[in-house]
Amino acid sequence: MRFDTIIIGGGLAGLTAGIRLQEEGRRTAIVSSGQSALHFFSGSFESLKDCPEAEELFDRAGVRLHNLPGSRRLLPGGAFREAVLSLGDVSLLPGEGPIGKKALIVSFNGYHDFFPELLAGALEKDGTPSIQGIVEMEELAALRKSPTEMRSVNIARVLDKCPDKFVQKVKELLADGVDTVILPQVFGLDGDEVPRAISEGLAPLKVIFVGTLPPSVPGIRTQNMLRRRYERLGGTFIIGDSVVSGAVHEGIVSSVASHNLDTYRLFADNFILCSGSFFSKGLHSSPTAIEEPVFGLDVEFPEDRSLWYEADFFEPQPYMGIGVKADKDLHPSIGGEKVTNLYVAGAILGASKDGKYGTGAGKAIKSALAAANKILSL
């Protein structure tokens, strides 16, 4: 099978590049293992304040992004961070001052992936007293029968069907003086209509959505919506497969082989590698080396393994900065020889090496757009 561009990896970077290329009428395929870092996405594009190109591209996919200079966001452990470009249901809070007069923090019995007690402590310090409330609904009782079913995605599946009832239940918990309602991000697996309906249903109360432990409902929603957009544009999304090797000759990739397609190879003019970092297996580490497993691309790492780590867990970890070496056009190299029709994007580049693209999800979309635009300019 021949494509204009084959994209290896179906996470944020792969989908962004795929949509960009399809929108310009290129014929592309994405090979995706199915899971990606979007499954534990915070909802915020770290290091990215704004990016009109990405905002418009996401908007066409139905994914609303927003940011407000000087505002803050509230993280589930109780920390406030400076806001960055974020999904629509990441609530942007005023830069300073209490977030409300009194907050109601809502959770569910048997749900342990959201931490009202930790949030309450942080809000108290920030000047907002709070009360906690538990929403009981018969729809959730079935989930609780198994001790592992009360997870964000399962709750979203249930609540997405009855947002009005949920709103009613929250109203029953209101007490005097409450002007703010804090909810876990367990709404809207298929789109952001449900979180929007809940915000509207509870108006004039201010609704703040706060993240949960993975799996991330906004992240999975984002992945679903971007994939839908990509396929509607005619892209070929090959799911549940992974590229295992590539044929490279004189700095040109001609084809790649995948796990499921066996001897059947995928051919293209250009390739984008966005297979992620260690977690997504875009990088592989052994006791003595760090390698890129598909093409054997050059990776720079200290030989002394003890330099890969910082003994303090909360210090920046050097291994997270290790990634595939790439030039200014995102071309990698093999044994020092540049691969001219291959581009690398996203977490495989390493977290902090290149200030140009930032870190995390912000880096994923910026580097993916840069690679796609480069291909379009050829």
Partner 1 sequence: MNEFDVIVIGGGITGAGTARDCALRGLKVLLVERFDMSTGATGRNHGLLHSGARYAVTDRESAAECIAENKILRKIAPHCIDPTGGLFLTLPDDDLNYQGTFVEACKGAGIDAEIIDPREALAMEPSANREMIGAVKVPDASVDPFRLCASNLLDAKLHGATILLYTEVTGFIMEGSRVLGVKTLNHKTGEEGSYYAKITVNAAGIWGMSVMEKAGITVGMFPSKGALLIFAHRVNRMVLNRCRKPANADILVPGGTVSIIGTTSTRVPLEECNNPQVTPDEVNLLIGEGVKLSPTLAETRILRAFAGVRPLVSSDNDPSGRSISRGAVCLDHASRDGMEGLVTITGGKLTTYRLMAEMATDMVCRKLGMHVRCQTAWTPLPGAEGHSFKETADTIWRTPANKPEEPDIYGDALVCECENISVGELEAAIKHLGAGSLVDLRRRTRMGMGTCQGELCGCRAARILAREGLGDKALSDLRSFMAERWKGIYPIAWGDALREAEYTQWVYKHVLGI
Structure tokens at 373: 């635009």
Shortest distance in whole angstroms from residue 279 CB to partner 1? 5
Per rule CB under 8 A, is residue 360 in the interface with partner 1? yes
Verify binding: residue 112, partner 1, rule CB under 8 A. yes
Angle between helices 152-159 and 217-232 (to 10 degrees): 70
Which of the residues 135 through 154 are near partner 1 (CB under 8 A)?
141, 144-145, 147-148, 150
Site string for partner 1, 293-322 (x = CB under 8 A): ------------xx-xx-xxxx--x-xx--
Nearer to partner 1, 28 or 42 (CB): 42
Cα–Cα distance measured from residue 112 to residue 107, given in angstroms and rounded to the nearest whole number: 9
CA 119 to chain centre: 23
Q: Tell the smallest beta-carbon distance from residue 285 to partner 1 (Å).
A: 4
Is there a contact between 189 and 155 (Cβ–Cβ < 8 Å)? no
141 vs 244, beta carbon nearer partner 1: 141
Site size toward partner 1 (CB under 8 A) is: 50
- The two tokens of residue 90 are 């990441």
Q: How many Å apart are CA 368 and CA 357, to the nearest integer?
A: 10
Which of 16, 36, 128, 216 binds partner 1 (CB under 8 A)? It is 216
**Could you say whether residue 126 binds partner 1 (CB under 8 A)?**
no
Q: Which residues bind partner 1 (CB under 8 A)?
A: 37, 40, 42, 46, 75-79, 81, 109-113, 115-118, 121, 141, 144-145, 147-148, 150, 211, 213-214, 216, 277-279, 281, 284-287, 305-306, 308-309, 311-314, 317, 319-320, 360
